[in-house]
Amino acid sequence: MKVTVVGAGNVGATVANVIAMKNFASEVVLLDIKEGVAEGKAMDMMQSAPMLGIDTMVTGVTNDYAATFGSKVVVITSGVPRKPGMSREDLIGTNAKIVKSVVDNVLAYSPDAILIVISNPMDAMTYLTLKSTKLPRNRVLGLGGLLDSSRFKYYLAQELHKAGIPASLTDVDGMVVGGHNDKTMVPLVSYAAYRGIPITKILSQAAIDEAVAQTKKGGATLTGLIGTSAWYAPGAAVATLVGTIVTDARKLIPCCVYLDGEYGEHDLCIGVPVILGAKGVERIVDVALDGKEKEAFEASVKAARETNAHLAGALA
Ligand code: APR
């Protein structure tokens, strides 16, 4: 199974590397506009293969879409990342142009591909991709919820540690829905748990509030520390989405998808739980949100619509 990753920057190269290490794809093509960068990173990864037991063939190309022919999944990370103090929405003008031209090129060679959008502002870029390509909605999704959920689990585990419970991160469950946006993402406290124990029964309200607040600014915290946006967890999250599709694992994962009546919303892309499998989005799972979470989700929808309004030019 062939996978293409467009953009060989921090996120794209990490995605290719994690996919290769997981050995679920036969081939990964890494494509970048910058001469030689994708080729060099692919070569570096392949030179780690004998040590890491990698069977996946990673190749790098400079803007050569013919090499991406017949990809089952295409990941779009091309675009500019945030710098400290920037919101994801600040990137919309630049990234809309990049994403649109990349998607046209990708589909010319892989007309049946499932597209995963990473470029920010991701909810708007996913909507742009869906609307401009007119692809069926099962084939276009954006990364956000899985990454934000993983950060939520991390911060819940931190609070458990502070409360004297040395929790393993993999024992913590939590889901984030809504926009991939510092202000309006919605960590679902009512469904968060530590090995089946509702988090509300084991952590104080103050500790939960702290985990929620830290989750929401999780991306900005990393951008502030590193000077550009993060890549290890985003790369792992994207590789997880690709692996779930390629192996038809049908896992329940929050992803940014087009809503057509689910959650009472129409005509926008936003994060909700979906079952992911070989066809891409196999099903959107409508779960009940409690009063406060519903309000927060509605605010998130409103913000996503406001951002989408800036796409009018790109969609004309
Ligand atoms: N075609 C192919 N590659 C492109 C194009 C294009 N039209 N335009 C830019 N690129 C490439 C750049 O050359 C660069 O190598 O995209 C890559 C982006 O890499 P980084 O600058 O390292 O950005 P990264 O941290 O990987 O983030 C990529 O993901 O999380 C989001 O906000 C982030 O939108 C950003 C994207």
180 part of the active site: yes
The three-point CA angle 56-62-67 to 5° equals 50
Position 88 scores a pLDDT of: 78
Position 98 scores a pLDDT of: 93
Position 244 scores a pLDDT of: 98
User: Is 12 a pocket residue for ligand 1 (Cβ < 6 Å)?
Assistant: yes
Position 127 scores a pLDDT of: 97
User: Is 9 a pocket residue for ligand 1 (Cβ < 6 Å)?
Assistant: yes
Instruction: Determine the Cα–Cα distance for residues 2 and 27; give it in Å rounded to an integer.
Output: 5
In order, the DSSP letters of the chain are -EEEEE--SHHHHHHHHHHHHHT--SEEEEEESSTTHHHHHHHHHHTTHHHHT--SEEEEEES-GGGGTT-SEEEE--SPPP-TT--GGGGHHHHHHHHHHHHHHHHHH-TT-EEEE-SSSHHHHHHHHHHHHT--GGGEEESSHHHHHHHHHHHHHHHHHHTT----GGGEE--EEB-SSTTT-EE-GGG-EETTEEGGGTS-HHHHHHHHHHHHTHHHHHHHHHSS---HHHHHHHHHHHHHHHTT--EEEEEEEEEESGGG-EEEEEEEEEEEETTEEEEE------HHHHHHHHHHHHHHHHHHGGGHHHH-
pTM comes to 0.96
Per-residue pLDDT for the chain (316 aa), expressed as one digit of tens each? 999 999 999 999 999 999 999 999 999 999 999 999 999 999 999 999 999 999 999 999 999 999 999 999 999 999 888 788 888 778 898 899 999 999 999 999 999 999 999 999 999 999 999 999 999 999 999 999 999 999 999 999 999 999 999 999 999 999 999 999 989 999 999 999 999 999 999 999 999 999 999 999 999 999 999 999 999 999 999 999 999 999 999 999 999 999 999 999 999 999 999 999 999 999 999 999 999 999 999 999 999 999 999 998 888 8
User: Is 95 a pocket residue for ligand 1 (Cβ < 6 Å)?
Assistant: yes
Instruction: Give the atom of ligand 1 at the shortest distance from the alpha carbon of 230.
Output: 25
Position 313 scores a pLDDT of: 80
Q: Compute how many other C-beta atoms are within 10 angstroms of the C-beta atom of residue 295.
A: 12
Pocket test for ligand 1, best of 14, 61, 80 (most atoms within 8 A of CB): 80
Distance 80 CA to ligand 1 centre (A): 5
Position 251 scores a pLDDT of: 98
Cα(first)–Cα(last) distance of the chain, in Å? 35
Position 274 scores a pLDDT of: 98
Q: Phi, psi at residue 114, to the nearest 5°?
A: -90, 130
User: Is 144 a pocket residue for ligand 1 (Cβ < 6 Å)?
Assistant: no
Residue whose CA is at the smallest distance from ligand 1 atom 19: 9
User: Is 8 a pocket residue for ligand 1 (Cβ < 6 Å)?
Assistant: yes
The three-point CA angle 211-212-218 to 5° equals 85
Distance 35 CA to ligand 1 centre (A): 14
Position 90 scores a pLDDT of: 83
Q: Compute how many other C-beta atoms are within 10 angstroms of the C-beta atom of residue 173.
A: 17
